[in-house]
Every structure is written in C-alpha cells, then in structure tokens.
Amino acid sequence: MTSPLTIAIDGPAAAGKGTLAKRVAQHYLLPYLDTGLLYRAVGRQIALAGANPDDPEAAGRFARELDLSHLDDPTLRGHEAGELASRVAVHGPVREALVTFQRSFAARPEGAVLDGRDIGTVICPEARVKIFVTASAEVRARRRTDELVAHGRDDVDFDRILAEVRARDERDSGRNVAPLKPADDAHLLDTSQLDIDAAFRAACEVVDRAVVVLDQH
C-alpha cells in the first residue's frame, strides 16, 4: 500500500514558501496547513476571551482547543496577532499542543502539505517529500518591501527590512530548540532567480521525482 503523500515545505521568512505550498497543495489535491498561523490563532483566541496570553497554562488550554476554523480569521496576519503570537510562543504547553496539532494534520490518510520553519526536521521527519525553499536575504527583503508597498504602506524602508530579515535569520538558525535548517534529506530550492511559476514547476519536479523513486521501493 502506498504511504500518504506528505509534503513538508520549510524555509526562512519571505522565501515564498507559503505561496508555493498553497499551489502545490492545490495541484496535488491535498489539504494545506500554514503552520505560521497557529501561534497567531492561539493568541487571537486568548484575546477574544479576555484571557492572559502570558499565563502558560491558560495559553496551553487555548492551544489544545484550537480548531482549523480559527485559522480563517482575516486579522491573523495583522500586527496585533503577530505580537500576541510572540508572547504565547514562549510557553511549553502551547508548543507541545501545536506540535500535536501539526502532526495530526500531517497524518491524514490522503496526505497533506505543511509549510513552516521546522516541518521537515521536527514536525514531519518521515514526510515523503521535503523541500527547503530559500532565497538571498536581499531578494527576500525586496519581496517583503514590494508586498508592503502593494498594501498601501508609504513608510517602507528597504535597508531596515533587510536588517530585520538578517536578524530574523540569525535568530531562527541560532535558537536551541528546532533551529531553522534543512533536513538532511530535503531538496533545496533557491528561488532568488525564480518567479512563482518557475518555482512551482521546480517544486512539482521534486515531488514527482520523489514519489516515483519512493513507490519503487
């Protein structure tokens, strides 16, 4: 019996992994989880309930009760949700609950696509396909700058965003728990010189090749 097609897509901020993961999921008709929204959703639910996001046990309870429908909240990508996410992410009970949530999603019998920062190394080490999407810091900063400008921001400074991207890279790759790094068996996909269509084609080639090889064993 063929094992589920679980696709783990990792990479640093603004590498394009979210947009790519959504297209890959649609192409292979697989459920998709943007794991970056989970901590934001927990923080948002805590705020709506008037609870304390700095209380580890209370935050853990909300994390254990998280439902996929909570991820549809359009405010999750806003600044407030981001601030709340950073406050609840430090709590062990929250991290434990959300790891369980992600692994349960990945274990669907039909497979799934998950994107984040430690999917192939921590959440789904047994995923059939692992792709680590990256790009140079300068390219990622430019993409982030263009995105903000497109959303109407007129106070965007490229040099400041580039410094933030580099600082986040250093923080993510240097943390003691689940540092940002490719899994040993991940396929590296550098999108520095690729638009989304070219990146999508390259990802599909990786998936198709991996599926053929794995199904022969």
Residue numbers in the known binding site are 11-19
Cα–Cα distance for residue pair 193/189, rounded to 1 Å: 11
* Strand bridging mode 32-34 / 5-10: unpaired
Q: What is the DSSP letter of 125?
A: T
The C-alpha angle 175, 5, 129, rounded to 5 degrees, equals 45
C-alpha to C-alpha distance for 179 and 198, rounded to whole angstroms:
28
- Residues at the annotated binding site for ATP? 11-19
Residue in the structure block whose two tokens are 């991820």: 71
Distances, alpha carbon 52 to alpha carbons 49, 94, 101, in Å: 9, 13, 22
Cβ atoms of residues 108 and 128 within 8 Å: no
Residues 95 and 117: their CA atoms lie apart, in Å, by 14
User: Coil, strand, or helix at residue 168?
Assistant: helix
∠ CA 22-176-38, nearest 5°, is: 30
